[in-house]
Amino acid sequence: MRLPALAAAPDPTLETFGRDPWWLIGGKVLAIFVFLVLTVLMSMWVERRVIGRMQLRVGPNRCGPFGLLQGLADGVKLALKEDIIPRQVDKVVFVLAPIVSAVPAFISFIIIPFGPTVSVFGHQTALQGTDLPVAVLLVLAMSSMGVYGIVLAGWSSMSPYSLLGGLRSSAQVISYEIAMGLSFVAVFLFAGTMSTTGIVNAQADKWFVLLLFPSFVVYVITMMGESNRIPFDLPEGEGELVGGFHTEYSSLKFAMFFLAEYINLATLSALATTLFLGGWRAPAPISTFWEGANAGWWPVLWFMVKLWGFIFFFIWLRGSLPRVRYDQLMKLGWKVLMPFSLGWILLVATIRAFRNEGYDIQSIALICAVVAAVVLGASVLWEMLRGEGDADGQIVPDLAAGTPEADPAAGGFPVPPMDAPHYHGGRPDVRKEVGSGIH
Contacts 24+ apart (CB under 8 A), 58-66: none
What's the structural domain count of the chain? 1
What ranges in 157-297 are assigned the alpha helix state H? Answer: 160-191, 196-202, 208-211, 213-226, 238-241, 251-276, 284-289
d(CA 200, CA 146): 26
CA distances from 155 to 94, 97, 102 (A): 9, 10, 17
> Around 342, how many Cα atoms within 13 Å sit in the side-chain half-sphere?
7
- 165, 171, 174, 179: CA torsion to nearest 10: -110
d(CA 398, CA 386): 17
434 inside domain? no
d(CA 20, CA 122): 12
122 inside domain? yes
Residue 114, phi then psi, degrees to nearest 5: -90, -25
> Around 330, how many Cα atoms within 13 Å sit in the side-chain half-sphere?
8
d(CA 341, CA 352): 16
Facing residues of 92 across strands? none
- 7, burial (CB in 10 Å: exposed 0-12, middle 13-18, buried 19+): exposed
d(CA 144, CA 227): 12
pLDDT at 393: 45
99 inside domain? yes
Residues contacting 404, CB < 8 A, separation 6+ = 397
Helix (H) or strand (E) holding 424: strand 423-424
Domain residues for the domain of 202 are 14-284+293-359
393 inside domain? no
Closest by CA to 219, choosing from 99, 310, 309, is 310
Are 274 and 113 in contact by the 8 Å Cβ rule? The answer is yes
Closest by CA to 277, choosing from 211, 340, 190, 179, is 211
d(CA 298, CA 301): 5
388 inside domain? no
pLDDT at 420: 46
176 inside domain? yes
Tell me the pTM. Answer: 0.78
Residues of the chain short of pLDDT 70, as ranges, are 1-11, 234-243, 360-362, 365-366, 368-369, 372-373, 375-377, 379-380, 382-384, 386-439
82 inside domain? yes
350 inside domain? yes
Residue 87, phi then psi, degrees to nearest 5: -70, -40
Cα angle 279-47-277, degrees, rounded to a multiple of 5: 15
